[in-house]
Amino acid sequence: MTLWPRTLLGRTALVIAAAVLLSQLVAWQAFNLYNRGPRSEQLASLAASHLRTIATALETLSEEARNDFLDALEDSQGIKVIADQGAQLPAREPQQTSLRLFSEYVREQLGPETEFFVQKNGLNLWVRLPVGTQAYWVSVPRNQIERRFPWIWVAWAAFSTLLALALAYLFVRRINRPLQQLVGAASAIGKGQQPPPLPTGGAAELDTVNRAFNEMASDIEALGRERALLLAGVSHDLRTPLARLRLSIEMLQGTDTETKAGMNQDIEDMDAIVGQFLDFARDEQSEQTSTVDLNDVVREVCAGYEKRGVEVGTELGALPVLPIRPLAMKRLLTNLIENARRYGAPPIAVHTGTEGKAIVLSVLDRGPGIRAEDAQRLLQPFTRASVARGDGGGSGLGLAIVDRVARLHGGSVQLLAREGGGLEAKVALPAA
């Protein structure tokens, strides 16, 4: 666990708060450094003047008047005066910085023989004052020597720190908004979608980033359109000669049935590859989403295989309805089943269910499976497993189409080895 925040807002707030507090502390220390000496000297001069006045009064007043003067002095200013009775108050130099500076300035004013005593409770500083043949200890209240704790400064420091944090929050929030838009747009491109152009203007750095991103997104979209147009054009052009070849085979005379069947199968394989090219070039984003039960899509696809005499088992769990593109999802499931038929082995089964907050669609077979290191590679276009699952003559686009459709729905694809042999193609979709 680290105390350093991960968000830009948290880091900015922490840095600004630390900078403000540090500057306040430095300012406070500088103020103390340049103010402590002159202030102590001024207070010492004032105290020395009071002490001289007290000494003059003690020396000139009668005993009765002296007592009245001392009572009035204690009542009005809190200054006590007691006669020095030998070791009643042993002299002791102040150790605290402010008291030490004060005592040094007082000694300069009254003479080097001036003695001091610091009361244990710390409320008073006593100064030994010679008056004729008698000496007196005069108390100087600490509140007349030292300043009170600067609560106003503390309040101002707290207020300025909070103000800096509030301004930092508003500033970083304005920066985070275009950054969040950039993250969303990048995520959309990663899912195969085309995000709307990012707004330009504002800070020069963010404007440069947004313009560069918009240009990149436009280039990617243009490349995708060109690739789709190329694949669609080539695939469409191949359909016509394939149809002519199929017709020519049917019209051949003197060719045995087995040879014709093999030639027709080759044409069917080529036609299937062309069909995958067309599927890969198709833009699933143009299809509108519908709220449907994924199990209904599975039942419909599997029913089509059953009519063709292909056995595909199902094990369907209870699922919530999802906003999906039905045709794209049918294409995904069909490609997974065809991949299991072409490269795997029976029995082939389709399972649905939930795992945590995800809805899971799995197609399982009992073929030779794939190597773990090939799992991610096989999701790339024009990639085929030539070792474990063999080469069934496909185009290498089936799983790439599955991965693209899954990412279009915010999901992911995993190719997992099954216990006892075989492959599980697992598609996880977000439930919401």
263-304 pLDDT, tens per residue? 666 666 666 666 666 665 565 556 678 888 889 999 999 998
Q: In the predicted model, what is the mean pLDDT of residues 367-387?
A: 73
Q: Is 363 helix (H, G, I), strand (E, B) or coil?
A: strand
Cα–Cα dist 135/218, whole Å? 97
Sheet hosting strand 81-83, strand order edge to edge: 81-83, 134-141, 124-131, 116-118
List of residues 6+ apart from 308 with CB closer than 8 A = none
Percent of the chain scoring above 90 in pLDDT: 5
Q: What is the pLDDT of residue 387?
A: 45
Residue 94's pLDDT is 64
Q: Which residues pair with 324 in a beta bridge?
A: 290
- CA–CA dist 354, 431 (Å, integer): 9
- Three-state secondary structure call for residue 310: coil
pLDDT tops 80 at residue 342 = yes
The pLDDT, as a whole number, for residue 390 is: 46
User: ω before 38 within 30° of 0 (cis)?
Assistant: no
Instruction: Say whether pLDDT at 380 is over 80.
Output: no
**Cβ pair 136, 84 in contact under 8 A:** yes
What separation, in Å, do the N-terminal and C-terminal C-alpha atoms of the chain show? 31
Poorest-confidence range of 112-116, 253-257, 362-366, 385-389?
385-389
Does 351 score more than 90 pLDDT?
Answer: yes
Question: 174 with 73: CB under 8 angstroms?
Answer: no
- Neighbour-count burial for 53-86, b at 16+ CB within 10 Å, e otherwise: ebbebbeeeeeeeeeebbeebeeeeebbbeebee
pLDDT-based confidence at residue 362 (cuts at 50, 70, 90): very high
The span from the CA of 214 to the CA of 410, in Å, is: 22
Treating both helix axes as pointing N-terminal to C-terminal, what angle do 8-60 and 151-190 enclose, rounded to 10 degrees?
180
pLDDT digits (tens, 9 = 90+) for 133-169: 778 787 777 766 666 666 777 787 778 778 877 887 7
